[in-house]
A and B are shown apart, each in its own frame.
Chain A
Amino acid sequence: MKVHTYERAFMILGGVLLVLCMAALVYATVALGIHLPGRAGEIEPAKVFTTPPFDNPGVHQTGPNQYDVVIIGQAWRFHPSEIRVPVGAELNFIATTFDVIHGFHIEGTRVNMMLIPGQISRLTYRFREPGEYLIICHEYCGAGHHNMYGKIIVE
C-alpha cells in the first residue's frame, strides 16, 4: 500500500504518542498505586441494612491511622449523610446500595464509585488537606436524585 511520506511519519508519531500515554497509565497504576474499584464481593440488596458491615454504617477505626468508612446509598440519601475523618488517615470506603444504582463522588478527589445493587464497591484514599467536601450522588436515581448528597469533614 502506497502511503505518503508525511502521512507515514504522522502515523508513526501518533502511534508513539499513544504508546507513551499507555505507559503513563501503567506507571500511575503500578508505581503510584492509583487503583480502580474491582470485584469486592456481592450482597443481597434487600438485606443490606442487616448484613455486616452495612448493618453499622459510619466510620470505624481498624488500625493505627486506618479506618473503614461504611456507606449505604438509598433513594434519595446516603447513610450516614455526614462523615468526619482525620486528615492523612488511610480510609477504606466500603459502599453499596439498597435500591437503584447511585453514584458516590467526593468532589475534587478521585473517590468516585458507582453503587450497583448486588455489588460492594471499595476504594482506598487519604485526604491530604483538611476541609469540608461535598459527597454527590452523580448517577440519576429517580425523581429526587438532585436531593441526594452528603458531606465529609476532614479534620
Chain B
Amino acid sequence: MAEHIVASTPVVADPTPFTLPETQRRVLRWTLYVGYAALTAGIFHGLAQALSYAGIDILGYFPALRSYYQGLTAHGVANAIIFTFSFANAFLPLMVARALSRRLDDRLLWASFGTLVLGNLLVIYAVVTNKASVLYTSYAPLQAHWTYYVGLVFVVISTWLALLNMLLTWRGWKRENPGVRMPLLAHISIVSYVMWFLASLPIAVEFLFFLIPWSFGWVERTDPLLTRTLFWFTGHAIVYAWLLPAYVSWYALVPRQAGGKVISDSLTRLVFILFLLLSIPTGFHHQYTDPGIHEGFKFVHAILTFGVFFPSLITAFSVMASLEMGGRAHGGRGLLGWIPKLPWGDPSLSAQLLAMITFVFGGITGLINASFTMNQVIHNTTWVPGHFHMTVGSAVAMTFMGVAYWMVPYLTGRKLWGRKVALASNWIYTIGVLIFARGMASAGLEGMPRRTFLVQAPYMDPDWLVGRILTGVGGTLMFVGIALFFVVIVMTIWKGKAGEAPKDIPWSETLIEPAKNGWATRLDRIGFWVIVAIILIVIAYGPFFLSYLPPNYVSPGFRIY
C-alpha cells in the first residue's frame, strides 16, 4: 500500500487511516437503523400480499389494518422509499468522508437525520390512520391527507441535505488538495446523489405545486395525467437512485471483500456519469399504455431506456472481472473454478454475490418491460412486481443487507453476531425471491393483475394456479430471510462483542489506475455533466410539456379507501 501513499492521485480512497468522530458515527448509525426498521416493518404486509395471491387471507390477523390497500401502501413506502433512502443517507456520506479522510458537517448531518425522522412520523401517522391508502405512487385523483405528501417531501429534503453535506466535504477537500483528482469512491458516491437530486425535482414540483395545495383544499381540482407524468419523470430515475449505492459497493468495496481489485478507475467513473445522463429521460416507459402522450414521445424514451441498460452491461463485466481476480487469488482454476473459491462464508460478500445473480434476471425482465410491444402484454400484471423484486427487492435490498454486515459493526464497534444466521438469511431470501418472482412473472404473463386483493376478487383464472402457489411459497421464504436479518442486526447492536469490529471500510485498490491527464479526467467535472443531463432531459420531455401545458385541472379529490 506504500506506493499509494506517495501517489499524488489517491486511488479509491485516501489510504491514510481515518475514523469518523463518534458523534458523527452515532447519527449515521441511527439513520441506518431507521432504514432497517422500515424494511422489517414493511415485510409483514409483503407476506400478506404473497399469501393473498396464493389464496390465503391472513389480513384477519392484522387487527389494526383497515384494508389490504392500506397495508400495500405501507409496504411500498416503507420498503421502497424509507428503507432505501435511509440507507443511502447513511452510506453515501460515510463513503465520501472515508474516501477523502475528512469529517462531515455536523449540523447538516443532524438536519438530514431530523428531516428524515420528521418525514417518517408524518407518513406513519397518515398511513396508520388510513388517511393515505393511495399506494406509494400517489396517483391523483385518489387523494391522501396532507401529512402524507408533506412527510414524503421531508424525506426527500433529507436526501438533499445528505447531498449538500457530501458536496461541502468535497469542496473543503478540494481547497486543501488543489490539482489532485478526487478519489474514485468519493466521485461515484457524489454522482449517485447528484443524479438523484436532479431526478427528484419533478416529484418536488408534483407535490409542492399540485398535490399539497390540493390536499389542503386550497385548489379544488388537479390534473391526473400531468401529476402522473411528473411522478414517472422522477419515478424511473428513483430506481437508479436505489441501485447506485449498491453499485458503489459492488465496484469499490466488493472487490476487496472478494480478494480482487477495481478493474478500471476511468471506466467506473464513466459508468456513473452515464447513469447521471441517462437515468432520468426514460420515464415514459412506465406510461406506454397511457392516453394523452404521443406515441413518438414514448418511442424516444424507449430508445433511451435501452441506452441506460448499457452502463449496467459494463458493470456486469467489470464487477465479474473483479470477482474472478479474487477467486483466482484464492486458488481458483479453470474457466469457472474461481467461483466456488470466492469467500462465500463472509455473509457480507455472499449477500452481494447472490444479489448480483438475481439481478441478471431482473435486468432481462427489465428489457422486456422497456420493449413497448411486449410491455402491452405485461403492464400492471404481477409480471412487474416479479421483475422489481429481482431488482430493488434483491439486487438493492440484499446489497444493503450485505453492507450492514460490516457497516453496523464498523459504526457500533461491535462484532457481527451470528455469522451463520446471516448466511442462512442470505440463502433463504435468495431462494425465496427466485421462487416468488418466477410465480409472479409466469402468472403475470397470463394476465394476473398486480396491486389487487386477489383472494377476495370475484374472478379467477385457473391458468394462474401454479404461479399463485409459487408466489405464496417464495414470499414466505422471503419473509423468513428478512426476519433472520433483523435478528442478526438487533443482536449485533445488543450483544455483539465490543471491540472486535472492522476498523476501516473494505475499500479496494484499482488494477488500472486513475488517468493523470486526457479526457478521462473530465469525468470529475460533475457540474458540466449535470448540464449535459439537463439538455438530454429537455430533449426527452420538452416536446410533451410544450404540447400539453397548461394543466388540465379536471379532477376533484377522491378518498374512496
**Chain A residues in contact with chain B, CB under 8 A?**
1-4, 6-7, 10-11, 14-15, 18, 21-22, 24-25, 28-29, 32, 34-40, 42, 44-46, 75, 99-101, 103, 105, 107-122, 134, 136-147, 149
Contact = CB atoms under 8 A, between A and B. Distances in A.
Interface in B288-305: 288-295, 298-299, 302-303
B363 to A, nearest CB: 11
B299 A38 contact: no
Given A11-B310, A107-B446, A142-B69, 12 more contacts: A11-B314, A14-B313, A25-B302, A36-B376, A105-B380, A113-B291, A119-B290, A121-B291, A138-B381, A138-B450, A143-B561, A149-B458
Contacts of A146: 68, 452-454, 456-458
A140 B69 CA distance: 8
B560 interface: yes
Contacts of B314: 7, 10-11, 14
Given A18-B306, A39-B294, A146-B457, A118 B380 contact: no
Contacts of A112: 289, 376-377, 379-380
Nearest to B70: A143
Contacts of B373: 25, 28-29, 32, 34, 110
Nearest to A104: B289
B519 A1 contact: yes
Contacts of B453: 145-146
A33 to B, nearest CB: 11
Contacts of A24: 371
B549 to A, nearest CB: 13
A4 B321 contact: yes
B142 A1 contact: no
7 contacts: A107-B446, A114-B287, A115-B291, A116-B225, A116-B292, A118-B292, A142-B561
Given A2-B264, A37-B289, A101-B228, A138 B449 contact: yes
Nearest to B558: A100
B381 A120 contact: no
Given A11-B314, A100-B558, A147 B458 contact: yes
Contact of B270 (A1, A38, A45, A99): A1
Is chain B's interface secondary structure helix, strand, loop, or mixed overall? mixed
Given A105-B449, A134-B447, A145-B69, A36 B288 contact: yes
Contacts of B313: 10-11, 14, 18
Interface in B430-454: 446-447, 449-454
B16 interface: no
Contact of B451 (A116, A118, A121, A138): A138
Interface string B352-367: 0000000000000001
Contacts of A2: 264, 266, 512
Nearest 6 pairs between A and B by C-beta? A107-B447, A142-B560, A110-B376, A138-B449, A14-B313, A138-B380
B126 interface: no
B371 A25 contact: yes
A116 B457 CA distance: 23
Contacts of B317: 6-7, 10-11
A44 to B, nearest CB: 6
Interface string B61-89: 00000011100100000000000000000
Given A4-B263, A119-B225, A138-B449, A21 B371 contact: yes
Given A25-B373, A138-B449, A117 B555 contact: yes
A121 B287 CA distance: 12
A38 B294 contact: yes
A87 B8 CA distance: 74
A118 B67 CA distance: 28
Nearest to A24: B371
Contact of A3 (B267, B299, B381): B267
A134 B457 CA distance: 12
A116 B381 contact: no
B38 interface: no
B371 to A, nearest CB: 6
Given A7-B263, A10-B317, A140 B135 contact: yes
B447 A108 contact: yes
Contact of B291 (A1, A37, A143): A37
Residue from A108, A113, A114 with most neighbouring chain B CB atoms (10 Å):
A114
Contacts of A29: 299, 373
B554 A105 contact: no
Given A1-B519, A105-B379, A134 B290 contact: no
Nearest to A145: B452
Nearest to A17: B313
A65 to B, nearest CB: 23
A107 to B, nearest CB: 3
Nearest to A134: B459
Interface in B264-278: 264, 266-267, 270
Nearest to B134: A140
B383 to A, nearest CB: 11
